[in-house]
Amino acid sequence: MNSLVNRYVSRLFLGRFFVLLIGLAALMLVLDFLADGDKVIRHRGELSIFGAVARYGFYRLPEYLSVLIPFTALVAGLLTFTRLSRLSELAVMRAAGISTARLIGAVMPGAILIAVLQFIVNDQAVPAGIGALRAWGVGDYAESNAEDAANLIWLRQGSDIVRIRHVDDDRGTMDGVTIFQRDDNGLIIAKITAESAKFGDSGWILNNVRRSAVGSAAAEEWDYLAWPGIAAPSVIATAAVHPREMPVSRLLSIRLASGFGSQPRYLYEIWTYKRLAKPALTILMVMLTVVLVNPLARQGSGGLWVVGGAALGSLLWTFDDLIFSLGEYGLLPPFAAAWAPATVFVAVVLGLILHHESHRRGRRI
């Protein structure tokens, strides 16, 4: 019986989830194109209008899926268990001895599948889509092709500040490298400029190098100068973007490259933890839908349960965003900022499960 209930509940839940997700994603893409469609068509190049629209939608879709997946999972769970309650199927399951914990177990395979999908979208599809839109220069990521200060890459290597005009990941080269050397107090003591740099087994080799020390009229010059310690070209190119646009593998690479990055080190830590915490929060949201719906609810009250559950979910998401923002500003440790909301969600879900079970036993007595 358990396997039959598990398959039945999972099928209802996943069916509603994917129908809602496809519908909401399509709506968001249509609204997005109505706002930025003229820019897409203007920058379509050799593509046809249909090809440009399809390409833009393909690159833009992961961002909307990232936002919609947890919300859709919550609503799909509420709709599923509201339907079971409205048709008295949930009451029959409870009367047959199926506890709240077992109902959570029935929906858990679907929740885990959604969480895995969410992680893949957030970790792989979103960074790739944003990178493609940046390179294309349309939508929210339109950039000027002019070689101005806005296109320069600024990084931190230990106490030094590095400015790079261009990085070629495929060739392992950099152009227009400037290194601002600083003392322990953060004051600039020298500036090193290099026309280009080549990455090798022992690190970077700077070409046509000139070093000017603060307070000295003379400048030192070299044809070549070894510059060990800085990361590989692929890591440098990735580090120029915000941590939210990096996959976990890149976040870990930058964290392992001690003292390197374009952002404070704790930001890479908090986004690594957050990438793992978000799917966990989605699973907890699905668990919450099981314990929220009353199996003895009156006919016609299903809409109230859906609205109430969505409101509670929104409140918990707001709490999650607030705690994470405090972590981004350095007011909370990275691990706590990423996982504290999940801990609160677990406490809420367990508390509701215990309440349901104690109420159920009390009615039996």
The whole-number mean pLDDT for each consecutive block of 10 residues of the chain, a chain of 365 residues, reads 80 94 94 84 80 89 94 91 83 79 88 96 92 79 48 78 84 89 87 90 87 86 82 71 84 72 82 92 89 60 69 84 90 91 84 69 53
Q: Which residue bears the tokens 């109230």?
A: 304
Structural domain contains residue 153: no
The confidence score (pLDDT) of residue 303 equals 64
Q: Is residue 83 part of a domain?
A: yes
Same domain, 39 and 136: yes
- Domain boundaries, position 179: 159-227
Q: H helices within 46-170, ranges in order?
A: 49-86, 89-95, 100-120, 126-136
Whether 359 and 273 share a structural domain: yes
Residue 258 in domain: no
Can you tell me the distance from the alpha carbon of 312 to that of 234, in angstroms, rounded to the nearest whole number?
Answer: 42
177 inside domain? yes
Number of domains composing the chain: 2
Q: Single out the residue in 227, 250, 282 at which a domain terminates.
A: 227
Q: Which residues does residue 219 pair with via DSSP β-bridges, in sequence order?
A: 212
pLDDT at 204 (0 to 100): 86
The per-residue pLDDT for 244 is: 84
Q: Determine the pLDDT at residue 144.
A: 42
Domain contains 287: yes
| 79 and 178 inside one domain | no
Q: Are residues 28 and 79 in the same domain?
A: yes
Report the pLDDT value the prediction gives residue 21, as an integer from 0 to 100: 96
Is 217 within the bounds of a domain?
yes
Phi and psi (nearest 5°) for 51? Answer: -65, -40
The model scores a pTM over 0.75: yes
State the pLDDT at residue 278: 92
Q: What is the pLDDT of residue 104?
A: 87
Place of tokens 């080799």: 205
Are 190 and 337 found together in one domain? Answer: no
Q: Is residue 253 part of a domain?
A: no
pLDDT value of position 136: 82
- Single-letter amino acid, residue 67: V
d(CA 275, CA 116): 11
In this structure, are 20 and 75 located in the same domain? Answer: yes
Both 320 and 353 in a single domain? Answer: yes
72: which 2 tokens?
A: 């859709």
Q: Domain boundary at 196, 227, 258, which?
A: 227
Contact predicate 227/206, CB 8 Å: yes
Burial class (CB in 10 A: 0-12, 13-18, 19+), 256: exposed
Same domain, yes or no: 109 and 135: yes
C-alpha span between 337 and 334 (Å, rounded): 5
Say if residue 67 is in the same domain as residue 95. yes
From 204, 227, 250, the end of a domain falls on: 227
Which residues are registered as beta bridge partners of 177? 164, 194
Asked if 136 and 272 sit in the same domain, the reply is yes
Polymer length of the chain: 365
- Residues contacting 129, CB < 8 A, separation 6+: 58, 59, 60, 61, 62, 63
User: Quick one: 43 and 171 in the same domain?
Assistant: no
| Closest residue by Cα to residue 290 from 97, 117, 18, 76 | 76
Q: Residue 76 falls within a domain, yes or no?
A: yes
- Say whether both 211 and 67 belong to one domain: no
Q: What is the predicted pLDDT for the residue at 148?
A: 42
List the CATH number of the domain containing 163. 2.60.450.10
Task: Output the pLDDT for position 302.
Answer: 56
In this prediction, residue 342 carries a pLDDT of 87
